[in-house]
């Protein structure tokens, strides 16, 4: 009986062991056969290339790009017991208030974007926070009802776009231009709209986004070895300007002050090297913040230096006179009848502000006689006048570095055969130009008859900080050297004895011509004026062409009272900044 019971027990134990073994084999078989979600041994990463930077001549970053990131969290995975911990830590790392975070989390259940505008450095800290939150099990592991798989969705920091920064506010606007945002598959990119941002958009734009693929380590990072693949990101080119920030800031402040003093609509100035065309300042009193454009800023979005076309008035007289000299149709000492300030030509009556009886041909320029230049201009044929104005660059683009230029117009050769059109064009009416065209034209008198092209961008800087310089544009011979020198002497005399006396600066060679012109509104001349002074300032080693336009000054209609003082103060700033060194013997 005892042996029988013992046998039963042994048999039962055997059966149990057999069943356990079968169950073990079944589990192994099921595990082998079952389709499983195995984490990939490989991973990939991508990084967006950035837009290039605009750099001043003295090395300051005027327009830069910063990457933006967004912080995303799935509220369903936050442990309710650790919700407050998450809020407090995210607040510390992101700078957002706890109240703002709670408000965003309570909007919906599921995926929530906590912030769209996280800077790059802050994003790095938040990525570390995300890792720590996982480590401290702030997020739950939940089962996906559709796939049946369990997973954790923590805090994700995702590259969302880029933003343009202008560290110096409204500096160099509207020349620098402004950008707008473009959505590209959920990524916010930047494109230029106006100014340099638009003109050099293709150069500034990102070249190639980065991409890496390879085996991952236990933390999910790519193992870089011969089996991995990497395509480097290539950022857009930086562009280097000829304009230094230090000088530009002072010139802009000067214009801000003078705009109030002269009660003007706008004041513009340009300063350019007469021998190379390198621009050292292009400034307007009407500027805006590229990132915060308001409705009242709309008129200022256009660059007046090239987009404001106007009748230049008397600043054109030296150009007309130079054509007469070039064709040997006048001698500077020829006598011209001033007709005592009033002269009838056909049906038109031409007047002078100051009455003259007789004056020399060169004094027609010095004292700005409309009657004098109207008579002298009759010696030019329509073709000679029209072709001469074209050689001086009128009705043509002044610089390839800016876009949307209004090139103005000049009368045709046929029209300039008419004595009235010839007369009025000679003193700057019936022709339209912009400031940079006048700058180009006047560079001829300060550069031995050669005309330069204004240059704002002097080079490109690539990913490896190597600079590719852009050489100055080729000069164009407009006048014989002797003709240019003769006109230059007349312009110096105009400052020393004529309408530009307020521009005199001891120790410097200063020359230039004033101009005042009526403004046309709805096809009629009205009692509003633009005033101008275009000229040059030289020392022993530097030669600059400088142009000033004052739009609708209410204090005075005379350039000698408006544009000339702006010119003089700009020269004083250049002396203080070391761009000009007066030769003064103590």
Measured CA to CA, the distance from residue 137 to residue 85 in angstroms comes to 11
pLDDT for 276: 97
Lowest mean pLDDT among 6-20, 185-199, 568-582: 6-20
Q: Is the pLDDT of residue 113 over 70?
A: yes
- Would you tell me the crossing angle of helices 98-105 and 83-94 to the nearest 10 degrees? 120
Going by C-alpha positions, the residue among 173, 211, 166 that lies closest to residue 65 is 166
CATH architecture entry for 64-164? 2-Layer Sandwich (3.30)
Q: Is 1 a residue whose pLDDT tops 70? A: no
Task: Tell me which residue of 399, 535, 390, 396 sits closest to 454, measured CA to CA.
Answer: 399
Confidence bin at 480 (pLDDT 50/70/90): very high
Q: What would the pLDDT profile of 93-105 be if each residue is shown by its tens digit?
A: 988 899 999 999 9
**472/311 Cα distance (integer angstroms):** 29
> If DSSP codes are grouped into helix, strand and coil, which group holds residue 238?
strand
The mean per-residue pLDDT over the stretch 567-586 comes to: 92
- pLDDT one-digit tens code per residue, 385-402: 999 999 999 999 999 999
pLDDT at residue 159 greater than cutoff 80: yes
pLDDT recorded at residue 344: 92
Per-residue burial over 95-113, b if 16 or more Cβ lie within 10 Å, else e, is ebeeeebeebbeeeeeebe
pLDDT tens digit string along 219-228? 555 666 667 7
Return all residues near 517 (Cβ < 8 A) that are at least 6 apart: 310, 311, 312, 313, 314, 428, 429, 529, 530, 532
Burial class of 227 by CB neighbour count within 10 A (0 to 12, 13 to 18, 19+): exposed
Q: What is the pTM of this model?
A: 0.84
Q: Indicate the range of 489-493, 570-574, 582-586 predicted with least confidence.
A: 582-586
pLDDT band at 322 (very low <50, low <70, confident <90, very high): very high
Please, what is the end-to-end C-alpha distance for the chain in angstroms? 140
pLDDT (0 to 100) of residue 43: 63
pLDDT above 60 (res 33) = no
pLDDT of the residue at 285: 97
Who has greater pLDDT, 71 or 280? 280
Q: Is the pLDDT of residue 5 over 70?
A: no
* pLDDT tens-digit readout, 282-295: 999 999 999 899 99
Element (H, E) at 344: strand 342-345
> Does residue 585 have a pLDDT over 60?
no
Average pLDDT over residues 494-518: 95
E-state strands within 17-149: 42-47, 54-55, 61-74, 111-119, 142-143
| Residue in 123, 449, 137, 179 with CA at minimum distance from that of residue 291 | 179
pLDDT category of residue 38 using cuts at 50, 70 and 90: very low
pLDDT band at 37 (very low <50, low <70, confident <90, very high): very low
Among 8-22, 34-48, 215-229, 566-580, the range of highest mean pLDDT: 566-580
More confident residue, 142 or 426: 426
> Are the C-beta atoms of residues 122 and 112 closer than 8 Å to each other?
no
Q: What is the pLDDT of residue 297?
A: 92
CA pair distance 581, 574, nearest whole angstrom: 9
Cis bond upstream, residue 431 (ω within 30): no
Q: Looking at the predicted structure, is the pLDDT value of residue 193 above 90?
A: yes
pLDDT band at 425 (very low <50, low <70, confident <90, very high): very high
| Distance between CA atoms of residues 151 and 423, nearest Å | 86
pLDDT at 220: 52
Cβ-Cβ contacts under 8 Å for 138 (sequence gap 6 or more) = 78, 79, 82, 85, 86, 154
Least confident of 8-22, 264-278, 498-512: 8-22
pLDDT at residue 427 is higher than 60: yes
pLDDT for residue 142 = 83
Q: Is the pLDDT of residue 238 over 90?
A: yes
Query: Do 64-164 and 245-576 share a fold?
Result: no
Q: Is the pLDDT at 562 greater than 90, yes or no?
A: yes
Classified as helix, coil or strand, 343 is strand
Please list, in sequence order, all residues whose beta carbon lies within 8 angstroms of the beta carbon of residue 159, skipping any fewer than 6 positions away: 47, 48, 67, 68, 69, 123, 187
Per-residue confidence band for 488, with pLDDT thresholds at 50, 70 and 90: very high
Q: Where are the domains of the chain?
A: 64-164, 245-576
Task: Report the sign of the C-alpha dihedral through residues 516, 520, 524, 528, in that order.
Answer: negative
Task: State the average pLDDT over residues 474-481.
Answer: 96
- Quote the CA–CA distance of 427 and 368 in Å, as a whole number: 9
Contacts of 274 (CB under 8 A, 6+ apart): 443, 446, 447, 452, 536, 538, 543, 544, 545
203, pLDDT greater than 60: yes
| SS3 category, 52 | coil
CATH of 245-576, one of 3.30.70.890, 1.10.150.20, 3.30.1310.10, 3.40.710.10: 3.40.710.10
Lowest mean pLDDT among 452-461, 470-479, 517-526: 517-526
d(Cα 576, Cα 586) in Å, to the nearest integer? Answer: 18
**Res 221: pLDDT:** 58
Structure confidence at residue 151 as a pLDDT band (50, 70, 90): confident
pLDDT at 239: 97
Average pLDDT over residues 498-517: 96
The predicted structure's pLDDT at residue 194: 94
Arithmetic mean of pLDDT over the chain = 90
Q: Greater confidence, 149 or 242?
A: 242
CA atoms in the 13 A half-sphere facing the CB of 242: 21
CA distance 255 to 265: 11
């Amino acid at each position: 009986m005892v042996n029988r019971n013992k046998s039963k027990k042994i048999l039962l134990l055997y059966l149990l062991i057999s069943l356990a073994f079968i169950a073990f084999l079944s589990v192994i078989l099921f595990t082998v056969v079952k389709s499983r979600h195995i984490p990939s041994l490989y991973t990939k990463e991508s990084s967006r290339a950035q837009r290039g930077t605009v750099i001043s001549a003295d090395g300051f970053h005027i327009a830069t790009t910063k990457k933006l990131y967004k912080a995303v969290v799935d509220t369903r995975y936050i442990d309710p017991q650790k919700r407050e911990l998450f809020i407090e830590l995210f607040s510390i790392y992101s700078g957002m208030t706890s109240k703002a975070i709670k408000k965003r989390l309570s909007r919906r259940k599921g995926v929530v974007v906590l912030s769209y505008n996280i800077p790059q450095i802050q994003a790095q800290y938040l990525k570390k926070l995300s890792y720590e939150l996982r480590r401290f099990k702030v997020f739950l592991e939940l089962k996906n009802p559709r796939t049946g798989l369990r997973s954790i969705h923590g805090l994700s920091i995702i590259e969302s776009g880029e933003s343009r920064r202008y560290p110096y506010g409204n500096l160099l606007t509207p020349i620098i231009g402004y950008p707008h945002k473009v959505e590209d598959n959920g990524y916010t990119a930047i494109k230029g709209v106006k100014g340099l941002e638009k003109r050099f958009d293709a150069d500034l734009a990102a070249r190639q986004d980065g991409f890496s693929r390879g085996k991952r380590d236990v933390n999910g990072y790519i193992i870089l070895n011969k089996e991995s693949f990497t395509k480097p990101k290539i950022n857009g080119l930086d562009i280097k300007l000829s304009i230094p920030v230090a000088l530009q800031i002072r010139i802009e402040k000067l214009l801000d002050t003078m705009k109030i003093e002269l009660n003007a609509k706008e004041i513009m100035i340009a300063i350019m090297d007469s021998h190379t065309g390198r621009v050292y300042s292009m400034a307007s009193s009407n500027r805006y913040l590229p990132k915060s454009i308001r409705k009242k800023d709309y008129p200022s979005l256009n660059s007046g230096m090239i987009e404001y076309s106007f009748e230049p008035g008397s600043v054109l007289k030296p150009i007309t006179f130079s054509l007469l000299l070039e064709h040997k149709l006048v001698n500077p000492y020829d006598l011209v009848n001033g007709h005592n300030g009033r002269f009838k030509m056909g049906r038109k009556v031409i007047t002078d502000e100051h009455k003259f009886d007789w004056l020399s041909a060169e004094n027609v320029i010095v004292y700005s006689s409309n009657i004098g230049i109207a008579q002298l201009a009759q010696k030019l044929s329509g073709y000679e006048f029209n072709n001469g104005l074209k050689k001086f660059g009128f009705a043509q683009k002044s610089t390839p570095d800016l876009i949307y230029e209004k090139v103005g117009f000049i009368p045709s050769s046929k029209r300039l055969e008419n004595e009235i059109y010839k007369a009025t064009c000679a003193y700057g009416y019936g022709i339209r130009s912009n400031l940079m065209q006048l700058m180009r034209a006047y560079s001829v008198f300060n550069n031995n008859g050669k005309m330069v092209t204004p240059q704002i961008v002097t080079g490109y800087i690539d990913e490896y900080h190597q600079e590719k310089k852009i050489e100055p544009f080729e000069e164009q011979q407009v006048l014989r050297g002797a003709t240019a020198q003769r006109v230059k002497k007349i312009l110096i005399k105009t400052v020393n004895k004529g309408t530009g006396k307020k521009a005199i600066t001891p120790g410097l060679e200063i020359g230039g011509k004033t101009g005042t012109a009526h403004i046309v509104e709805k096809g009629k001349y009205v009692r509003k004026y633009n005033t101008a002074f275009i000229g040059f300032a030289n020392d022993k080693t530097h030669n600059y062409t400088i142009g000033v336009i004052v739009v609708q000054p209410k204090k005075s209609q005379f350039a000698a009272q408006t544009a000339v003082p702006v010119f003089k103060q700009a020269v004083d700033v250049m002396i203080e900044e070391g761009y000009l060194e007066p030769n003064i013997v103590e």
